[in-house]
């Protein structure tokens, strides 16, 4: 068996269990960086060969030298970006899977909009000022925070009434509320093979949006229930097979546009997050340029990866396979950034 000179490391949160399990399945030794108070799952599920405990993820930079000494490649995920911030990630010296340049495009709303528009992806209308609100909107605060605090409004008056409950929030976006079903499309693009793969789909399980249907409309009004979108978990999903060509096409466009925007472009896992309306078009409200937590139901592979691979292939494992193939072909620089 090939001796793998690298270790795979990530921080203990988000999709770490899946990433580390996938790395072990591919033959890598694994490291999990954990906050002391959150270490238990990473001991309960034995996917980390080594656990490095820190008081806070903010101390990540203090252990960076240790990771370099161990020849680690760090796999970023949603919590990694949230806890470290784009600027610190860009300065990391430890090997990092995926291109850091794309993080700027992902974290800057204007750039993200340009990227998706140029990829001919439909997006929800944005209202620059509250006074422009003429239809139902969803108000979102900046930064991935799992939907927490988001609210709906139907008019400028309602907007001002509700925003008053968030006096410290200055940075928000007012987006058209799109009626349809939320769908998250998980892709993987390998630079080594120049191929796009659909890894799976999920929908989110959000509190209280996913329970409001259990309360009659009349009771919702008397109880003054407000819709909220706090993410609690992810639910696996399979789409109509006839929609697959469409999802493949838009994924390919997003990759091609990223290559025009910023060489070498996006690679590894990414996700288009949006609402499929009744005309079967995906209106995308966000792109994640890395592994998303919606891939977690598929630790043992998805209905789609099962068709392509003769073994359980999670997105975490697919990342490790990409790194392994890069090492075998002496092209490691192609998967680091």
Half-sphere exposure of 330 (CA within 13 A, CB side): 0
Contacts for 172 with CB less than 8 Å, ≥ 6 apart: 139, 140, 141, 142, 163
Q: Is 177 among the residues that bind ligand ADP (CB under 6 A)? A: yes
Mask 252-291, x = binds ligand ADP (CB under 6 A)?
A: ---------------------x-x---------xx-----
Nearer to ligand ADP, 119 or 190 (CB): 119
- Which of 12, 98, 130, 147 contacts ligand ADP by CB under 6 A? 147
Bridge partners, 50 (sequence order): 31
- Which of 41, 85, 146, 156 contacts ligand ADP by CB under 6 A? 146
Shortest distance, position 311 Cβ to ligand ADP, whole Å: 31
Q: Count residues near ligand ADP (CB under 6 A).
A: 22
- Which of 115, 187, 188, 229 contacts ligand ADP by CB under 6 A? 229
Q: Is 140 among the residues that bind ligand ADP (CB under 6 A)? A: yes
DSSP 59: G
Nearer to ligand ADP, 68 or 232 (CB): 232
Shortest distance, position 213 Cβ to ligand ADP, whole Å: 13
Tokens of 208: 């209280």
Shortest distance, position 167 Cβ to ligand ADP, whole Å: 20
Shortest distance, position 204 Cβ to ligand ADP, whole Å: 5
Q: Is 182 among the residues that bind ligand ADP (CB under 6 A)? A: yes
Shortest distance, position 332 Cβ to ligand ADP, whole Å: 31
Mask 189-208, x = binds ligand ADP (CB under 6 A)?
A: ---------------x-x--
Half-sphere exposure of 34 (CA within 13 A, CB side): 23
Shortest distance, position 203 Cβ to ligand ADP, whole Å: 8
Please enumerate, as own/partner, the contacts of 295-300 that have beta carbons within 8 Å and a separation of 24 or more.
295/15, 295/18, 295/186, 295/199, 295/200, 295/202, 295/269, 296/15, 296/17, 296/18, 296/234, 297/200, 297/202, 297/234, 297/235, 297/236, 298/18, 298/199, 298/200, 298/236, 299/17, 299/18, 299/21
- 101 near 258, Cβ under 8 Å? no
Cα–Cα distance, 285 to 97 (Å, whole number): 25
- Which of 124, 265, 294, 337 contacts ligand ADP by CB under 6 A? 124
Q: Is 138 among the residues that bind ligand ADP (CB under 6 A)? A: yes
Mask 84-103, x = binds ligand ADP (CB under 6 A)?
A: --------------------
Cα–Cα distance, 153 to 134 (Å, whole number): 10
At 33, phi and psi to the nearest 5?
-95, 120
Q: Is 40 among the residues that bind ligand ADP (CB under 6 A)? A: no
Q: In what order do the strands lie in the sheet with 7-11?
A: 50-54, 29-35, 7-11, 72-74, 95-96
Quick one: which of 229, 123, 247, 144 has its CA closest to 186? 247
Shortest distance, position 55 Cβ to ligand ADP, whole Å: 26
Shortest distance, position 178 Cβ to ligand ADP, whole Å: 4
Q: Is 145 among the residues that bind ligand ADP (CB under 6 A)? A: yes
- 6 near 33, Cβ under 8 Å? no
Q: Which residues bind ligand ADP (CB under 6 A)?
A: 124, 138, 140, 144-147, 150, 175-178, 182, 204, 206, 209, 229, 231, 273, 275, 285-286
């Amino acid at each position: 068996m090939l001796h793998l000179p690298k270790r795979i490391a990530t921080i203990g949160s988000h999709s770490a269990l899946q990433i580390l399990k996938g790395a072990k399945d591919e033959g890598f030794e694994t490291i999990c960086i954990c906050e002391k108070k959150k270490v238990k799952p990473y001991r309960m599920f034995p996917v980390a060969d080594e656990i490095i405990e820190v008081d806070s993820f903010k101390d990540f930079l203090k252990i960076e030298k240790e990771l370099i000494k161990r020849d680690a490649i760090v796999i970023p995920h949603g919590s990694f970006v949230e806890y470290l911030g784009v600027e610190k990630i860009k300065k990391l010296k430890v090997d990092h899977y995926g291109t850091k340049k794309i993080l700027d495009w992902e974290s800057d709303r204007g750039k993200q909009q340009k990227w998706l528009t140029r990829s001919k992806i439909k997006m929800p209308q944005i209202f620059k000022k509250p006074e422009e609100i003429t239809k139902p909107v969803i108000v979102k605060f900046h930064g991935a925070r799992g939907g927490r605090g988001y609210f709906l409004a139907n008019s400028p008056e309602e907007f001002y009434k509700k925003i008053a409950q968030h006096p410290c929030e200055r940075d928000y976006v007012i987006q058209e509320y799109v009626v349809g079903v939320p769908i998250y499309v998980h892709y993987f693009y390998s630079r080594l093979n120049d191929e796009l793969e659909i890894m799976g789909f999920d929908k989110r399980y959000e509190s209280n949006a996913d329970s409001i249907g259990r309360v009659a409309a009349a009771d919702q009004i008397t109880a003054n229930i407000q819709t909220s979108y706090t993410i609690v978990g992810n639910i696996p999903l399979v789409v109509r097979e006839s929609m697959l060509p469409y999802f493949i096409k838009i994924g390919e466009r997003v990759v091609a546009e990223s290559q025009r925007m910023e060489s070498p472009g996006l690679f590894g896992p990414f996700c288009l997050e949006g609402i499929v309306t009744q005309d079967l078009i995906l209106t995308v409200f966000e792109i994640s340029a890395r592994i998303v937590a919606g891939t977690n139901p598929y630790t043992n592979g998805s209905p789609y990866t099962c068709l392509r691979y003769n073994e359980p292939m999670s997105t975490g494992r697919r990342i490790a396979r990409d790194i392994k193939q890069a090492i075998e072909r002496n092209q490691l620089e192609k998967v680091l950034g």
